[in-house]
Amino acid sequence: MKYNIAEEIKIDGLIKAKISELHNEIHHSILSDRQKEMLRQELKEYQDLQHKNRMIRQVDLLG
C-alpha cells in the first residue's frame, strides 16, 4: 500500500513519538526485568518498522 507524502510524514512522526515513549519508559520507570524485556522487544519492532519505511521511501525516490 502506497501512502502520499502527508501520510508518510504523519506515520514517521507517530513512529518517532512511540520510540521516544518506549525509551523513556525503559530508562525512567521501575519495571521488572520481564517488563523491560517486553518493552525492548516492542522498541525493536518500532525501530525495524522505521527503518523499513525509510528504505521504501528511498526506493520510491530512486524508482
**pLDDT, tens digit, 9 for 90 and up, residues 34-45:** 999 999 999 999
Which residue stretches of 1-63 are H helix? 5-28, 33-62
Would the pTM count as exceeding 0.75?
yes
Amino acid identity, residue 63?
A: G
Q: Produce one character per residue of 22-49: b if its CB has 16 or more CB atoms within 10 Å, e if not.
A: beeebeeeeeeeeeeeebeeebeebeee
pLDDT tens column, 47-62: 999 999 888 888 877 8
Q: Would you state the cell numbers that stand for residue 22, as one nine-digit string? A: 518506549
